[in-house]
Chains A and B, each alone.
Chain A
Amino acid sequence: MRTFGSPEFLFIVYALRWTLTLTVLAFVGGGIMGIVLALLRIARIRAFSAITTFYMQVIQGLPLLVLLFLCYYAPSLFGIEIAALTAAAIALTINSSAFLGAIWESALRAIPKAQWESADALALTPYKTLRFVIAPQAIRLALPSTVGFLVQIIKQTSLASIIGFIEITRAGQLVSNATFEPLKAFLSVAALYFAVCFPLTQLSLWLERRTACRGART
């Protein structure tokens, strides 16, 4: 029987790259879909807002685990086997798109309407208004919540271990099975998550305080 030593710990640490890979895939994918969702929702076209409301309510009301199972098993209906990484990336992308879409929509809506109107009066096209007037302010508003949600995504990648993808939670399970020292194994996993998430949480808090100070000044 193996004991829990530095090789075992390093095994978990190396699995961190897969946690981070999955996080990046989910954040980029969810970010792109989230932007599209947010823009569709502020476009004031009834069909768009009906469809996006339905999508966001369903996805936000669905446990990520169930979504993950659906994404993992659905392709087999078409006779396609997909890798656990692909399934997890798709599920996390869909999940984060709904939440990021909601965050960014509220940031876009928080910009006073007068800004749109004055841009319109200056004959800026809708695209230019968004690009040079609205987005720079909205991004600043949305940044703290976005970083906060990034922490959420990192933690959610742990669910990929349930469908067998080897990121740090699964690595912890493997080490725990091999060494019979689950406490050390899972505490190491928890410590790694903490080491990654804690700085980001602090960054999010700092951004929030800074935004609040700016708001107070103007």
Chain B
Amino acid sequence: MDYTFQFGPLLNYLPQIVSGLWLTIGLSFVGIFGGIALGIFCAVMSTSSSPIPRLLVRLHVEVVRNTPLLVQIFVIFFGLPNIGIRLSPLTSVFIALVLNNGGYVAEIVRGGIEATHRSQVEAAESLGLSYFQTLRYVILPPALEKVFTPVVSQCVLLMLSTSLVSAIGVEDLTGAAMIASSETFRTMEIYLVVAMVYVVLNFVFRAVLNVAGLMIFTRSRRRLLGRA
């Protein structure tokens, strides 16, 4: 292999890469927290007794989980202007990421809710708790704690798939790398650097989310501290 790696030319693109990195982090945060909020809402809706919200949630979850994120972004960004809804690239990817993550999280959280025993809900009812009180104090805390690990894995995967937004010209980390590589032709160097940044980001996100989980769920914190 008579190829000399030259990382020098990349230094000029450092500002773009750094701003791309911030955009990737921002997109991931919106996708993760918007997705978790939407997911919990959908999961609660899917346990409701009337069939219409159940059907809508089912539809949303199945569509999101059985089509690629890239196609979802294309439908929202390129497709919706056909029916008069024109969104900026950034808005479209925000919507796509939240809807996408929401669908996956909803399915995970639903599993957690269904694992909560029916008698707990009945006990709450007999104590005279309202529907929202039951949800807030009886159903959701153990359900969310149970599904915390899969939700973190899903959110880290979402962070990685934010790279797809570069396909419609949003300059996140991958988008910045695409521009830098087409202007300097140091393709391998730039993608190797970006790859490393993503691997590091992956560990950082996992750590931050796990710490957040330990701060929120007192029971697993106590279990962890008790073991140590």
Residue positions of A touching B, CB distance < 8 A: 57-58, 60-67, 69-70, 73-74, 77-78, 151, 155-156, 158-159, 161-162, 169, 172-173, 176, 181-187, 189-190, 193-194, 197-198, 201
* Cβ B195 vs Cβ A77 within 8 A: no
Contact (A190, B71) CB under 8 Å given A66-B174, A198-B66, A201-B65: yes
* Cβ A61 vs Cβ B199 within 8 A: yes
* Cβ B198 vs Cβ A169 within 8 A: no
Which residues of B73-107 are within 8 A (CB) of A? 74-75, 78-83
* Cβ B188 vs Cβ A73 within 8 A: yes
* Cβ A66 vs Cβ B198 within 8 A: yes
**How many residue pairs between the two chains, A and B, have CB atoms under 8 Å in the bound complex?**
118
What is the interface of chain A mostly: helix, strand, loop, or mixed?
helix
Contact (A63, B160) CB under 8 Å given A182-B74, A186-B75: yes
Nearest CB in chain B to that of A173: its residue: B74
* Cβ A169 vs Cβ B71 within 8 A: yes
* Cβ A186 vs Cβ B192 within 8 A: no
Nearest CB in chain A to that of B73: its residue: A186
Residues of B within 8 A of A189 (CB): 71, 74
Cβ 8 A contact of B66, one of A58, A186, A197: A197
* Cβ B68 vs Cβ A61 within 8 A: no
Contact (A172, B74) CB under 8 Å given A63-B160, A187-B79, A194-B63: yes
Cβ 8 A contact of B198, one of A61, A73, A161, A193: A61
Q: Is B11 an interface residue (CB 8 A)?
A: no
Contact (A187, B160) CB under 8 Å given A61-B198, A62-B199, A66-B191: no
Q: Is B194 an interface residue (CB 8 A)?
A: yes
Given contact pairs A159-B164, A183-B75, a sample of 9 additional A-B residue pairs in the complex whose CB atoms are under 8 Å apart: A62-B160, A62-B195, A63-B162, A69-B191, A158-B70, A162-B167, A169-B70, A183-B79, A186-B75
Cβ 8 A contact of A201, one of B66, B70, B72, B177: B66
Q: Is B161 an interface residue (CB 8 A)?
A: yes
A-B contact pairs, 30 of them (CB 8 A): A61-B160, A61-B202, A62-B160, A63-B161, A63-B174, A65-B163, A66-B194, A66-B195, A70-B188, A70-B191, A155-B66, A155-B69, A158-B70, A169-B68, A169-B71, A176-B78, A183-B79, A185-B79, A186-B71, A186-B75, A186-B79, A187-B79, A189-B74, A190-B67, A193-B66, A193-B71, A194-B63, A194-B66, A197-B67, A198-B66
